[in-house]
Structure 1
């Protein structure tokens, strides 16, 4: 991001509209920890007409917690044109992180930020390092792979759908090659560069990315057989690996305690 707030390759009008929406949130007395770009632009394979997917984590002030009616744990704006903006309450983000949902840690690692509160990302990142269990995150990515992988794969398919399956498969391979002891980068190309796979498969994936970058969001094409085989083998391999992971109830309780403490501290932050 430039000193004037511009973001390379982003429509200035879209960026201004997103920041206007974020301002409307803060005007309700709500803190925004960070607001980032998610989706294909941050994953490294945008199309010429990809949406702007702004996602943010927010913290409600103490008085919102004292009302009889609990506030929603999401803030959503209508999708207008190619601008999609929405946020999660920190409570929701932490609850999902404890279950292994990788979304909040991906947001935290996004290379594209619209705005952020000084120090919040590092504080949240320090907590996530303590409470996120890589094996649970692996289960999250297997779920994404199951959701997007089309086993039939005959004929032309949506390139978006295919790459949305490739991304979790690459993330899982990144984790496996590190014995499931760390969490992968958000950017798929960065993840791909850091794993050891067959050179022809790497080339096929990169070629697919290039096609998507030059094709409209719903463009279709024939899936390369190498990529189809990679997805099929990944789904089988990691579905089996998940059965080998052991549970740690004591670790879960410790993580819950740390998340509770962090949440209370953030709600009280600046309240005095």
Structure 2
């Protein structure tokens, strides 16, 4: 399973592939999914955007049966435009049942470096069945509010941060329009499927076009229609019940983990 945009730099993709292969050998793990995250996968990259490769890995069975377990993350050094790191599938399962949406986003990435469709489908099905949607909404609300609190309103907002404020609002609206479902990762898809007001849609299209031509340090004022849109979507979720983790999902996560060990752990 592989899906790489034609405009990706070939040498950079080759470097990512080499780094992923080295990880599987050096750390003795299986890597059933490696994707692009960040602005390139979200659909609003800048000319100088990094390549943010994220992956999920499975260790050998004996590596989980030790008094001194290894870390549940694998990180590689930042190298120019490359940011490559990943999570143990056990960590992904634990965070999904707690309402953390990061691993779910990775499963929805339109850009795939390598992957096993059976793994992605199995973990996606688990997320659809057991991710607590109220906590997922709360995750995106906090994510957006943190970015908004960091914005420098006096001098304008970095275009990159403006999108980090706007994307969670679009996710929240999408989830309201698609109850019971987890959202897509691709920002233009979110907008197309959540029916924002025409003036908001037009402003977003203009921002995406501008960001495609502007370095990450570019500043812009917060458009009034975007501010109104964001405030409204955040306000709806802010008064919702916070939700809670269903303890039954722990047993389901254990079962999913054991199945993934059986199917994907290296021998």
Contact 1:52-1:83 within 8 A present in 2 as well = yes
TM-score, L = length of structure 2: 0.93
The alpha carbon displacement at 1:266 in A equals 1.4
Give 2:230's aligned residue. 231
The alpha carbon displacement at 1:253 in A equals 2.1
> Are 1:85 and 2:79 counterparts?
no
> Are 1:9 and 2:3 counterparts?
no
The alpha carbon displacement at 1:226 in A equals 1.1
> Are 1:269 and 2:263 counterparts?
yes
Q: Which runs of 5+ in 1 are unaligned?
A: none
The alpha carbon displacement at 1:183 in A equals 1.2
Contact 1:149-1:231 within 8 A present in 2 as well = no
- Aligned partners of 1:54 and 1:220: how far apart in 2? 26
SS in 2 for 1:269: helix
Over the aligned positions, Cα root-mean-square deviation in angstroms equals 1.9
Structure with bigger RCO (C-alpha 8 Å, 6+ apart)? 2
Contact 1:45-1:212 within 8 A present in 2 as well = yes
Give 1:198's aligned residue. 197
> Does the C-alpha gap of structure 1 residues 200 and 233 become closer, same or farther in structure 2, counting only changes over 3 Å?
same
Give 2:159's aligned residue. 159
Give 2:114's aligned residue. 115
Q: Could you list the runs of 4 or more consecutive aligned residues of structure 1 that deviate by over 6 angstroms after TM superposition? A: none
- Aligned partners of 2:15 and 2:224: how far apart in 1? 42
- Aligned partners of 1:200 and 1:153: how far apart in 2? 22
SS in 1 for 2:247: helix
Give 2:35's aligned residue. 36
> Residues 199-218 of structure 1 correspond to what in structure 2 (within 5 A)?
199-218=198-217
Give 1:139's aligned residue. 138
The alpha carbon displacement at 1:67 in A equals 3.1
Tell me the alpha carbon deviations over residues 162-184 of structure 1, each in whole angstroms, 9 at most, x when there is no partner.
10110000000011123x32111
Contact 1:6-1:12 within 8 A present in 2 as well = no
SS in 1 for 2:182: coil
Deviating more after overlay: 36-45 vs 204-213: 204-213
> Does the C-alpha gap of structure 1 residues 136 and 6 become closer, same or farther in structure 2, counting only changes over 3 Å?
closer
The alpha carbon displacement at 1:118 in A equals 4.2
Q: 2:254 aligns with which of 244, 260, 270?
A: 260
Contact 1:153-1:228 within 8 A present in 2 as well = no
- Aligned partners of 2:199 and 2:77: how far apart in 1? 42
The alpha carbon displacement at 1:267 in A equals 1.7
The alpha carbon displacement at 1:153 in A equals 3.0
> Does the C-alpha gap of structure 1 residues 225 and 20 become closer, same or farther in structure 2, counting only changes over 3 Å?
same
